[in-house]
């Protein structure tokens, strides 16, 4: 078992552990409920932590968490109806309302 990282809160730690488990890297969240005693112990020691069950998965698990923290954006697109250009995160034209075409 190997400590992978600390999370800013329990929700994020659980999401990360769920994503790791779904990808085939068994993981668990520890220190789930220490935030209530932050101040009595150092605050950074009260954060929930994600642990990997198999140390051999460490590099792949770190790459997965890095990808989750920095998702790739969709490429910009042009509306086929009015020609307006949009950043990739928009799925509907702000000029005419047409949905982004799916390829």
Count how many domains the chain has.
Answer: 2
- pLDDT-based confidence at residue 103 (cuts at 50, 70, 90): low
State the residue range of the domain holding 6.
2-69
Which are the contacts of 18, defined by CB distance < 8 A and separation ≥ 6? Answer: none
Q: Are 8 and 49 part of one and the same domain?
A: yes
Q: Is 16 helix (H, G, I), strand (E, B) or coil?
A: helix
Q: Rounded mean pLDDT of 81-100? A: 91
Split at pLDDT 50, 70, 90, the class of 39 is confident
Compute the mean pLDDT over every residue in the chain, rounded to the nearest whole number.
89
Band of pLDDT at residue 74, cut at 50, 70 and 90: confident
pTM above 0.95, yes or no: no
CATH (domain of 65) = 3.30.70
């Amino acid at each position: 078992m190997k400590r992978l990282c600390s999370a800013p809160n329990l929700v994020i730690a659980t999401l990360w552990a769920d994503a790791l488990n779904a990808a085939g890297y068994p993981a668990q969240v520890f220190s789930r409920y220490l935030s209530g005693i932050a101040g009595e112990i150092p605050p950074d020691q009260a954060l929930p932590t994600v642990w990997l069950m198999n140390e051999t998965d460490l590099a792949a698990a770190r790459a997965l968490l890095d990808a989750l923290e920095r998702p790739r954006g969709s490429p910009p697109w042009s509306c086929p109806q009015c020609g307006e250009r949009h950043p990739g995160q928009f799925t509907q034209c702000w000029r005419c309302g047409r949905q982004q075409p799916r390829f």
